[in-house]
Amino acid sequence: MDKIKPVVLDRGACYAALSAHDARFDGKFFAGVSSTGIYCRPVCRVKRPKAENCSYYPSAAAAEAGGYRPCLKCRPELAPGLSPADAAARLARKAAFIISHDCPEENTLAELAGRLGISGRHLRRVFNAEYGVSPVRYVQTCRLLLAKNLLTDTNLSITESAMTAGFGSLRRFNDLFKKQYRLTPGDIRKQDKHFSEKDKSGITLFPAYRPPYEWDKLIKFFSDRALPGIEEVRGGVYRRTAALQNRDGLHRGWISVMNVPAKNALAVTLSRSLLPVLPKVLARIKILFDTDCSPLEIYEKLSGMNRIRAGLCAAGTRLPGSFDPFEMAVRAVLGQQITVKAAGTLAARFVAAFGEKLTSPFDDLFYTFPGPETIYHLEGPVENHLGPLGITGARARSIYALAEALVKGRISLTPEADSEAEMKKLMSLPGFGPWTVNYIGMRALSWPDAFPHTDYGIKKALGGKPAEEILALAEHWRPWRSYAAVDLWNSLEVL
């Protein structure tokens, strides 16, 4: 077994960030305080500890392995993570994302390594280098912190909180909670709780992000592209339906997301029907709203865009992701060479024809998007089914080819997928050209360096430059060309 080596962090820099409550470092390290036995986020507002009492860890799991329990004030379970698409240590971060995405499932180390196409030993090595603990210990911390989050912010019972967080045994949960946190689950639940009537149909959690956050531009992007029946944006609140699978079957429901800038967090409310897939929901919401990115690092690289035109690049730009990668890929195909509005009309017809009806408390949310299996198992030529919707034969065949490739496992749009490799595979499908593949790379695969250089909006934002000249210019924006594309779209009065 590989020996776990501690990850060394710059003590002076960490203490300076902790003293300044610097939100830019939130989730990038955690501070353990020996005088209290507690670990905190850099943004914690408790009295500043003495420097000699502080030790620093690259993850919450590493802090807990060091013998510290989470702070009840700053709540480490709410901290933003590290994007799995970041260039550095991408493999370890993908593994961490899978763990957070599937923490209720019993993934063994061998299964996790197999999904990533590497050996268990190599996974342990790269994971420890990035997070300071083994994957197994990281899984345990994810489950404990999710349970603590549910106990603090929802009216779920202790048993419901434990089971939702992935603990198959209430006794094991209680024992582990007391061992790690030197508190009982009941100690957390004893805090005063004030829940409204709406909490009877849903629960609300508050995942954090690093500021600045261009929420208004992001929500406008989603509003302009909201898919009728599936999505809506009203009063700055994003809502959508969801259908997610786990080992118990398919779970369907609704989600509502709003910004809480005073907390540098999102308020994510979801129906109780989605509790069995809660970690998957939270992971996909973080992708959709790009909560784990480091905006100032990206701005530092892209700020040169402002020499082209003042204000072209903004600090806090987010990459609009997707909740359902297949949904996003289908919408990319439907959006080929037509307006955003026309693409939305075709997508709405597609959903009405193949989506499954859902009852929700929102008048405009009444379908869930069909899975690739639904399209793959259509009888007869696919054109016969999609043609009456106004979808051309070429696009119908493209959608079917995508569904077939996903069902048969030839292409993967899952979080652990190698984005560049999958984009190359997509290029081999009929009707998938550079624009479509790069758009899917940006939004469905969350690849930060995709760039649809032939896009009409990008050409317009850059004064009509030829596509080849635009592609050459974008070389200066690597590895964040996807964010550059969003900045260019945001610079237009009409996206």
Residues with catalytic annotation?
40, 455
Could you give the strand order of the β-sheet that contains 265-271, starting from the edge strand earlier in sequence? 202-205, 265-271, 249-260, 237-246, 231-234
Report which residue type is found at 271.
S
Quickly count: other Cβ atoms within 10 Å of residue 184's Cβ. 13
- CB within 8 A of 178, min separation 6: which ones? 184
Rounded distance between C-alpha atoms, residue 209 and residue 204, angstroms:
16
Strands 231-234 and 202-205, bridge-based pairing: unpaired
Token couple for 109: 């180390």
Q: Under DSSP, is residue 277 helix (H, G, I), strand (E, B) or coil?
A: helix
User: What angle, 0 to 180 degrees and rounded to 10, lies between the N-to-C axes of helices 90-101 and 278-288?
Assistant: 130
Residue 156 class from Cβ within 10 Å (0-12 exposed, 13-18 middle, 19+ buried)?
A: buried
- CB within 8 A of 141, min separation 6: which ones? 59, 60, 61, 64, 133
Token couple for 25: 């470092």
Q: Under DSSP, is residue 154 helix (H, G, I), strand (E, B) or coil?
A: coil
The DSSP letter of residue 5 is -
The DSSP letter of residue 455 is -
Among 235, 294, 241, 283, which residue's Cα sits nearest to residue 259? 235
> Which contacts (CB < 8 Å, 24+ apart) does range 166-173 have?
166/103, 166/104, 166/105, 166/279, 167/143, 173/147
Q: Is the dihedral of CA 352, 354, 359, 360 positive or negative?
A: negative
Query: Alpha helices of 311-451 — where are they, by DSSP H?
Result: 325-334, 340-354, 372-376, 382-386, 393-407, 419-427, 434-443
Residue 367: strand pairing partners: 357
Measured CA distances, 485 to 142, 180, 259, 343, 367 (Å): 34, 45, 23, 20, 31
CB 101 within 8 A of CB 276: no
Radius of gyration of the chain (CA): 23
